[in-house]
Amino acid sequence: MVIRRNSTNKKNARWLKTATIDTNNTNDLSARIQEKAYRLFEKRGYSHGNDWSDWLEAERLVKKELGIR
């Protein structure tokens, strides 16, 4: 968790708590994608045969959540 100020004006500064992920650490990113892909698999009723589409959709969702292109 990183705490940062969203304004340079001290009088009007608001402090924000933002969850961070080290996007340089592929293990963190892969773990989030893996978890999201499993949730998609689970949501579909554990139906096999869609592992690639689940992974790609999970990757898209996680990157969107993190603001990564």
Using one digit for the tens of pLDDT, what is the confidence trace for 14-66? Answer: 444 444 555 566 678 999 999 999 999 999 999 999 999 999 999 999 999 99
Q: Give the model's pLDDT for residue 69.
A: 78
Contact (Cβ atoms closer than 8 angstroms) between residue 22 and residue 16? no
Residue 33: count of CB within 10 angstroms of its CB:
21
Question: Can you give the pLDDT at residue 17?
Answer: 42
Question: Quick one: pLDDT at residue 22?
Answer: 56
| Cβ atoms of 2 and 13 closer than 8 Å | no
Q: According to the model, what pLDDT value does residue 55 have? A: 96
The confidence score (pLDDT) of residue 27 equals: 79
